[in-house]
Structure 1
Amino acid sequence: MHTPTDPVAAAKTIVERYLERAMVPDPEGARAYVSDDFQITFTGGRRFTAPAQTAAFNAKRYAWVKKKFLRTDAALDPETGDVHVYNTGYLYGEWRDGSAFETNRYMDTFVVRGGQIVSTQVWNDSAEILLHKAGLAEAPL
């Protein structure tokens, strides 16, 4: 007897495996989880089409960075078959100036279609923290 795969559970696993590879960083390993027409939008509207591009961007901002997952949620769109996945938690690591951080909030949203990530949007506190470090924040963090 064939047991159907739960598309929501499968999409959550795909996203978490992608994020684990992306945080190594292993852009080639992360590439295995995304579609050929993959689109990623970072905070501030920066657009990329490949994990190697986001790894290069992160290398300019962080000495190193990892994600601590708090939760991964997902919902199936019954009309399209797409699964919308939401992963949230904290970034931790080290800024380029050598100072450590560990409570940088993030929220990533994904669209998984046919077993591959077709798009993601990334939000985090990094820009606000960097503004604060530069003395340019409009209000205290």
Structure 2
Amino acid sequence: MPVISVTLLPGYPADVETRLVARLATAARSVIAASPAGTTVFVNHANTYQRDGNVFSSGGPARLVASDVVKGFLEAMQQRDLDTAQSFLAGGFAMRFPGSAVMHSLAEMIAWARPRYRSVAKDYERFEEVWRENDTVVFCSGTLRGTWNDGRDFSGIRFIDRFEVVDGKITRQDVWNDVAETLAAQA
């Protein structure tokens, strides 16, 4: 049964502490075969501490929830608010869609999609996060719906998107979907 104790300096909002506790418990259970009921995480608070000759009395900044960053980006893209969508992307952003070369701008992606469909939207089934050393990977999956270029509507096409988020910005997006298979079946 893991018991984890964390000491934080003042200044972190309650939702950040709650997120930290939940993630520490999940991380422990990913390594130790313990039940949620057998996993305990305590948060202690310190007013000040010294490290490397420096005295600290407040915590550092909290990271954004990576799934929320991705949701904001996807919502802006669906609304075709490209300026807002761009604000979620890091410099050097790269994306790859099925059958495409690596693209580095939203304009490239829109030009790539233009011969495929007139419009597309996503219905989400789930968002999942994987926390790594320097970034968070966010997977979202669900189905696509929209209108083909010939005016016919489509729906129920499976997709999975994989995003890498660093410091609140998306650095990479990889997309997998069944659009090509659906078009081939309709031909």
TM-score (norm 2): 0.65
Q: Report the Cα distance in structure 2 between the residues aligned to 1:22 and 1:54, rounded to whole angstroms.
A: 11
Q: 1:108-129 CA distances to partner (integer Å, 9 max, x unpaired)?
A: 0010011100001001111111
Match of 2:175 in 1: 122
> 1:20 and 1:58 mapped to 2: Cα distance?
17
Deviation at 1:104, TM superposition (A): 0.7
Distance 1:42 1:9 in 2: 26
The question of 1:43 aligning with 2:98 is answered yes
1:75-114 aligned at under 5 Å gives the runs 75-77=130-132, 79=133, 81-114=134-167
- Aligned partner of 2:77 among 22, 45, 60: 22
From 116, 131, 136, the equivalent of 2:184 is: 131
Q: Is the 8 A contact 2:126 2:140 kept in 1?
A: yes
Task: Give the 3-state SS of the residue equivalent to 2:125 in structure 1.
Answer: strand
- Gapped regions of structure 2 (runs ≥ 5): 1-9, 20-61
Unaligned runs of 5+ in 1: 135-141
CA–CA distance in 1 between the matches of 2:65 and 2:173?
A: 17
Matched position secondary structure for 1:98? coil
The structure with higher relative contact order (CA 8 Å, sep 6+) is 1
Name the SS of the counterpart of 1:40 in structure 2: strand
CA distance 1:13–1:69, shift in 2 (3 Å): same
User: What percent identity do the matched residue pairs reach?
Assistant: 31
Tell me which residue corresponds to 1:139.
Answer: none
**Which segment drifts farther, 46-55 or 3-12?**
3-12
Measure the CA separation in 1 of the matches of 2:161 and 2:148: 20
Match of 1:2 in 2: 11
TM-score normalised to structure 1 length = 0.85
Which stretch shifts more, 20-29 or 3-12?
3-12
Helix, strand or coil for the counterpart of 2:151?
Answer: coil
Root-mean-square deviation over aligned CA pairs: 1.8
